[in-house]
Each structure stands twice: as structure tokens, then as C-alpha cells.
Chains A and B, each alone.
Chain A
Amino acid sequence: MEYKIVGHNILRVDGLAKVTGKATYPEDLYMEGMLYGKTLRSIKTHAYITVDTKEAEKIDGVIKIFTHKDIPHNYYGVLFKDHEVFCSKKVRRIGDPIAFVVAITEKIAEKAIKAITVEYDEIESVFDPVDAMKEDAPLIHDRSNILYHYKLRRGNIEEAFQQCSVIVENQYKTSMVDHAFLQPEAGLAYMEGDTVVVCAATQYPHFDQLEISEALNIPQEKVKIINPAVGGAFGGREDITLQIHLALATWVIGKPVKTVYSREESFVAHSKRHPMIMNYKTGADANGKLLAMEANIIGDTGAYASWAINIMRKAGVHATGPYEIPNVKVDSYAVYTNNPFAGAMRGFGAAQVPIAHEQQMDMLAEKLKIDPITFRLNNCFKLGSTTATGQVLEESVPLIQCIEAVRHKLNSKANDTEGV
């Protein structure tokens, strides 16, 4: 069906402001008489802490230093409330916020940060998620380090593997990476009557509003989020970073407060992509039909849960790749360690598993002496297919078209190359 506006290349409505530099990002905001906030962060991976702010408070120009004692509800988190706004007893990773200094200039705030003494009483850390799953591993929180186990069961893999002509078995590993968005976190908060207003780039302003109101123990309607231009996000602006710090400071002091993270601070402040260890066993019959797949996937969520449950669930559901496999067994786990915390990032668990399932497909094709594209066409989802979770794909499944389109173009390109 032809539409008048849908389907047409309309210029971005926010494009002109962005390319001419007129768009306002949080860092661009200034207010008369505003104060500057700076965050003191943990430099140890796992330790009990004692914090002394007395000397820092004496510095001329320091307005207030906030610690866990100043926050009504000292917790937040997208799913589990396992983050503390300011660490009270222990730190669980490098970069955990401990205190927030508010001063009349940024320089004074920096000086005060250095004048705060933190005694670290270090405890054993664990960085390898496999080690963290062991019974005697140091606990990151007051519960098991294994915070989630997703199970997918379909058919009977033991019997099915016996019927396979070819089987490939491998371990794959993906790394922890950053979103590398262009604009480091920044924000400005101020009072508007008895409402606290926080201007910060975020992916979900209404959720930030809820988290701030919970932490400050004030009604939601007393919190307003202004979401100016966002300089990239990719999942890295789902978890709170500076929003509660700014809201608390403004709420208590009554004056506007601004914070800008450096690139280095940004790297430790927001989440990362979950690294995964993926053990795969996949088998097919002599005709090149996939019969069975078994996968065991361990995801390292670092010191905090963030979206780990949803991500490891998504990894488990997408572990087969877009293929019909009648017998499937998947176990995926989310595990705490003392690494930087992992959370949402473009792909969200469905970005890691293709590293495994797609190489498995090519290896099986090679063993079967079938070309990898034909092997995929023999097994891929089409209209009416049932996924490993039992979901029926009723419409909009143009996977064969996608594969054929790439085959056509790639072959013609490969031929071009040979001619060169």
C-alpha cells in the first residue's frame, strides 16, 4: 500500500539543530548561581569502607558533602534494587559512588574529593564468573552469586544427538565492551517551587522520575525530568548514574547543581555489555537437517544485576539462532563478580549468542560438505515455524528473502573480485 508520508525519506526533525550545533545537551545548560558536584568513587574492587569527610568539609567553598547518611532510601536499580546511591558499608567494584561533593566551583569540588579519606578494609575479590559460581566463592551481595538460571527444554537432546551424523562442540567467549556514546554523562538540577527538576540525558525519563522519588522519599509529582538532546545511549543510559546525586543535592541545598563527567569517569559510571562464556554442542543428520542443540551460557554481570536476568533470558531464547531445531536444551546463568557492572547494550544478550551459533552452523556445513548458505536455507525459520520456546511464527518472517539477497550480492561480488 502506498502512503503519503510513511515510507518516504523525510528529513530528521531534530537534524538541523544537531548539525548546526544548536541542539542543547545537558552539558550546555547553565544557571545563575549554580554549584558544582563531583563524585568520589571506589578505587578497590571489594572492601569494607570507613569514610571521613571532616577535613574536606572545612575547605572554603565547599557547600556540602553527601554520603549514605544523607539519602532517605539508599538504593536503586532497574530490576533488583541492589545498587546503593552511596556505598554504606562496602564497595563491590572500582567506581562505586561513595560521596558527592557540592562546591561553588568545580576546582574546589575536586580539591575536596582529594581531602576525603576512605579506609579500605579489603576482602577477597572474584573476577572469573566460573569461579564466582563455586560454593566457596566470596559473596558479592548477601545472597548467592548466581542470581538467575534460565532453562529451555524442548524434545530429547540425548536421543537426538545419537541420531546425528555430524556434531560440533565448542566453547566461545565474548568480551566486556562499552557503549562508547559520544556525550559523557552531564546534568543540571534545580528547584521549581517545591518540585525538583533534573535535566539529564536518559533513555527512560519516567523511570528516572520514579527512582529519584523513591530514593528521596518524595512524591513522584515533586520530581520532573527534562531530557535534553541525547548524545547516544545504546543501553548505557538505562541505569541511573548522576540523576539521584543531583536531585538530592538540589533538594537539600535549594540551589542549582551541575555535574559533568569526564570520559574516564563515564567509563566507570555506566554499565557494560555482559561478557559470556558459551559452550555449544550442535548436531545435524546426514541430509543436513539440524536435530539437536545444547548450550550452557554464563554471563558475567559484574557487581550489580542491572538487566542481567532479562539479558541472560534473551540470550537463552535466542541461543538457537533463527533455525528450526526440534531438540534443544539451554541453561543460561547470570553471575555476580567484582568486575564493572554489566547491563543493557544494543543487542541485549542476542548480540553474544550469534558469535557461537553462526560459527557452529558453518562448521556443521563444512562437515556435511554443504555450502553454508544452503545449510541455512535448509534449516531457517519460515512462515509457520515454531521456535525452541514453542512460539509459532505466524507472519513477517522474510528470513529466506534476506539470505537469498545476501547470497546473490555476495556471489556477484566474489566474482567481481576474481576478475580483478
Chain B
Amino acid sequence: MKKRGIGIGSTFYGTGYGNGFPDVSKAIVELSQEGEIVLYVGATEVGQGAKTILTQMAAEVLGVSVEDITLVCEDTSITPDAGTAAASRQTYNTGNAIKRACENLRDEMIKIAVKQLGLNSSIGVKVENKKVYLNIFPDKKVSFKEIANLQGEETLKTEGIFTAQTTKMDEETGQGAPYWPYTFSVYGVEVEVDTETGLVEITKAVCAQDVGKAINPKLIEGQIDGGFAMGLGYAIFEDLGLHNGEIKHNRFTNYLIPTALDVPDLDKIIIEAPETTAPYGAKGIGEPVMIAVAPAILNAIYNAVGVRITEIPITPERLLKAIKDNGKNKLEEGKI
């Protein structure tokens, strides 16, 4: 028999190294001799979209398009340390460092333009479309290329550093502010449980994801898709076959992960609540998108067939046994 049920999982996730450990990101931005913008930052693009969203933040500050910026993150000899691509920290930490570096470059370019254009102050001076100009008389302008030429051999470079704020917790009581900011996720699923085979299918899913502010909504949706699949694998499929310290399932023919066919269409809801300490209000979501999936599935299975699975993965064997035991108990209690 096939039975359906719904369940939700509600979670929070604290960003960063945490517990007062110095969590520092550095970035450098350069106006090249050709008047192009080059960002140098040691933040790894692991597929999460770091290069894209960090470029977007820089483009926003400097009033240029994403195509006008080159981001270099692949070489330790020319990039500053931006910490690890982990702990969902690159958007928040390195985003802040990039934003600061670009704001510093913008301010430097405005200073140079004020001098070059013979203006009395920086009031009303805008940076846009690769030029710096006076907004009430746009003919008073100087291009990025001209500013670069004024610099000569020594290119204009500015730095941005961001250090996150957390405190070390008390060793006896655990009291303190170990992470900041926190990101919230609430995911709901509908499952269909086959009571004869023990197979669980996810028939519907709703993912409400707090993001602070979405820098790139499509990339967030991509993260939700990937996080959901990973959470689903964690709940139902993935089993190393670990026996006496040995991994028996060490390739994808026996270490099963979900395929596109196992993942339903996700109803993805991006919830924005900007965080003032974050760049443009954006919080990290790389991990939060994964963690509410498995508990939602577990609760939905209970809702469908009335058994609590307290150990994952929910293999068909484990689920069938639980359904059988539950039936026996009810019979003994005279409930059926």
C-alpha cells in the first residue's frame, strides 16, 4: 500500500569559524593601467557561485557591469588570504572585504577626479559607466582610463579587510555569542511510502530559505536544489557500508546518491530580511540549504505510516522493520 504524509524541518545555522576565533577576509582591488577593474581575493570558487556574487558586489559599488571586472582567486602568490570556502562564510565575510576594498577604490578615484576636474569638493561626484563625473554637470568627467594614466607605472590599488564579530564561550557554561549571523531554513515535504517495499518517494517539497538579501536569486535556487538533493541522500540513500573500520561502498555503483529522478520539483521561496552587518544585507546559505531536509522527511514518514525512524539512513529494510514492529505493538495493545 502507498501512503502519503507531510512533515517539516525547521533549523538555524550560525555562520563563520565562530567562538571568538579571528575570522578574517582580505581583498584587493586594482585599477589596471588599461583602466580595468581587477579583484584579487583568495576565496575559492567551489561551485557555490563565489566568483559571480563577489563580482556583482564589486560591480554595484563601482558602477560598472560584471563584464568589466576580472576576479582572480586561483593563485596564492598574488591573492590575499580570504579564509576558507566553508562555514557558509564567503558571502558574508569576503563579501564585506570586497565591498570595503571597492568603496576605498571608489573614494580614491573620486579624490583624484576632484583634483583633476578642479572641483571644490566630492559632493555630487558619481562613479558610473567607467567614469567619474559631477552629477549636476556631467561634462565634468574623467574616465577610469584617464585616472589610470595619471597613476603611471604604479597602479591604483586598495585593500578591504573584514573581521567577523563573535565571542569565545565560557568553558563551563557555554555562554557567549559563538556565531553571527544566523540563517534560518524551514523545509516541508510530502512523501509517499510504499509499505510493501519500504521505498520512500518525495512527491512535493517547499523550501523557505532566509537569505538576508539575495545577491543572485538564481544561484540561491541552485544552492537549494543541490542542498535538497544532499539532504535527501543523507536521509534515505547514503550508506558507506562501514564495517569494522572498512568502507565497503567506495564507488557510485554501491554508494548511492540521489539522481535528478529522485528529486521532485522544489517550490523555492526566498525570504529576505537584510542583516545590517552583511554586504547588502546578504547572509550565507551554502549549508543552511541542506540541513532542514532530512528532518522534514523523517516527520513526513511518521505522518504517512505512524512510525518514528530514529536512525538514518532510512533504508527500506529499516523502514519495513519499523512498520512491522509498529503493527505488532498495536496488535498486542489491542488497537487493531
Contacts of B206 in A (CB 8 A): 405-406, 409-410, 413
Partner of B75, one of A12, A224, A359, A406: A224
Q: Is A396 touching B212 in the complex (CB atoms < 8 A)? A: yes
Partner of B42, one of A12, A94, A206, A237: A206
Q: Does B316 contact A (CB under 8 A)?
A: no
Q: Does A217 contact B (CB under 8 A)?
A: no
Partner of B188, one of A344, A396, A397, A406: A406
Q: Is B290 touching A346 in the complex (CB atoms < 8 A)? A: yes
Query: Which residues 148-204 of B have a CB within 8 angstroms of A?
Result: 169, 171-182, 184-188, 190, 203-204
Q: Does B138 contact A (CB under 8 A)?
A: no
Contacts of B81 in A (CB 8 A): 206
Beta-carbon nearest neighbor of A173 in chain B: B311
Interface centre among A3, A227, A230, A268 (most CB of B within 10 A): A227
Query: Which residues 165-210 of A have a CB within 8 angstroms of B?
Result: 170-178, 180, 195, 202-207, 209
Partner of B250, one of A264, A373, A393: A264
Q: Does B219 contact A (CB under 8 A)?
A: yes
Q: Does B257 contact A (CB under 8 A)?
A: yes
Q: Does A71 contact B (CB under 8 A)?
A: no
Q: Does B308 contact A (CB under 8 A)?
A: yes
Q: Is B184 touching A398 in the complex (CB atoms < 8 A)? A: yes
Q: How many A-B residue pairs have CB under 8 A?
A: 369
Distance in angstroms from A226 CB to nearest chain B CB is 6
Contact code string B254-291 (vs A, CB < 8 Å = 1, else 0)? 01010000000001010111111010110100110011
Distance in angstroms from B45 CB to nearest chain A CB is 6
Q: Does A322 contact B (CB under 8 A)?
A: yes
Distance in angstroms from B224 CB to nearest chain A CB is 13
Partner of B295, one of A151, A173, A358: A358
Q: Does A281 contact B (CB under 8 A)?
A: no
Q: Does A238 contact B (CB under 8 A)?
A: yes
- Give the segment of B29-37, B53-61, B112-120, B325-333 that binds chain A: B53-61
Q: Does A156 contact B (CB under 8 A)?
A: no
Beta-carbon nearest neighbor of A302 in chain B: B245
Partner of A173, one of B14, B57, B310: B310
Q: Is A417 touching B74 in the complex (CB atoms < 8 A)? A: no
Beta-carbon nearest neighbor of A170 in chain B: B310
Q: Is A12 touching B10 in the complex (CB atoms < 8 A)? A: no
Partner of B219, one of A12, A313, A338, A363: A12
Distance in angstroms from B200 CB to nearest chain A CB is 15
Q: Does B242 contact A (CB under 8 A)?
A: yes
Q: Is B86 touching A9 in the complex (CB atoms < 8 A)? A: no
Tell me the bound Cα distance from A145 to B271 in angstroms. Answer: 43
Contacts of A232 in B (CB 8 A): 46-47
With A45-B245, A402-B209 known as contacts, the answer to whether A347 contacts B290 (CB < 8 A) is: yes
Tell me the bound Cα distance from A180 to B217 in angstroms. Answer: 26
Contacts of A9 in B (CB 8 A): 216-219
Q: Is B181 touching A7 in the complex (CB atoms < 8 A)? A: no
Beta-carbon nearest neighbor of B174 in chain A: A152
Interface centre among A10, A152, A237 (most CB of B within 10 A): A10
Tell me the bound Cα distance from A80 to B147 in angstroms. Answer: 49
Q: How large is the interface on A (under 10, 10 to 19, 20 to 34, 35 or more residues)?
A: 35 or more
Beta-carbon nearest neighbor of A275 in chain B: B242
Query: Which residues 1-16 of A have a CB within 8 angstroms of B?
Result: 3-14
With A175-B238, A267-B251 known as contacts, the answer to whether A406 contacts B257 (CB < 8 A) is: no
Q: Does B11 contact A (CB under 8 A)?
A: yes
Tell me the bound Cα distance from A310 to B20 in angstroms. Answer: 12
Contact code string B79-100 (vs A, CB < 8 Å = 1, else 0)? 1011111110000000000000
Q: Is B66 touching A233 in the complex (CB atoms < 8 A)? A: no
Partner of A398, one of B210, B239, B242, B310: B210
Query: Which residues 40-54 of B have a CB within 8 angstroms of A?
Result: 42, 44-47, 49, 51-52
With A9-B218, A14-B45, A372-B299 known as contacts, the answer to whether A346 contacts B187 (CB < 8 A) is: no
Q: Is B240 touching A177 in the complex (CB atoms < 8 A)? A: yes
Contacts of A225 in B (CB 8 A): 75-76
Partner of A153, one of B49, B172, B178, B215: B172
Q: Is B244 touching A322 in the complex (CB atoms < 8 A)? A: no
Contact code string A366-406 (vs B, CB < 8 Å = 1, else 0)? 00000011001000110000001111010111110111011
Tell me the bound Cα distance from A202 to B83 in angstroms. Answer: 12
With A175-B313, A402-B209, A417-B190 known as contacts, the answer to whether A362 contacts B302 (CB < 8 A) is: yes
Tell me the bound Cα distance from A233 to B73 in angstroms. Answer: 16
Tell me the bound Cα distance from A346 to B226 in angstroms. Answer: 11
Q: Does A120 contact B (CB under 8 A)?
A: no
Query: Which residues 340-365 of A have a CB within 8 angstroms of B?
Result: 340, 344, 346-348, 350-351, 354-355, 357-359, 361-363
Q: Is B84 touching A406 in the complex (CB atoms < 8 A)? A: no
Q: Does A314 contact B (CB under 8 A)?
A: yes
Distance in angstroms from A291 CB to nearest chain B CB is 19
Distance in angstroms from A29 CB to nearest chain B CB is 13
Contacts of A398 in B (CB 8 A): 184, 210, 271-273
Contacts of A376 in B (CB 8 A): 8, 10
Contacts of A226 in B (CB 8 A): 74-76
With A9-B217, A235-B86, A389-B177 known as contacts, the answer to whether A125 contacts B245 (CB < 8 A) is: yes
Tell me the bound Cα distance from A405 to B187 in angstroms. Answer: 10
Tell me the bound Cα distance from A357 to B81 in angstroms. Answer: 37
Q: Is B216 touching A233 in the complex (CB atoms < 8 A)? A: no
Instruction: Across the A-B interface, give the 7 residue pairs with the lowest CB-CB distance, nearest first.
Output: A152-B174, A358-B295, A204-B84, A45-B245, A402-B186, A322-B12, A398-B273
Write 22 A-B pairs (CB below 8 A) sorted by A numbering.
A5-B56, A5-B66, A10-B56, A14-B45, A176-B240, A180-B252, A203-B44, A205-B44, A233-B47, A273-B234, A313-B178, A322-B11, A340-B247, A346-B287, A358-B9, A397-B273, A398-B273, A403-B208, A405-B186, A406-B186, A409-B206, A413-B267
- Given A174-B311, A398-B272, A413-B6, 6 more contacts at CB 8 Å? A177-B239, A227-B74, A314-B14, A346-B290, A348-B287, A397-B182
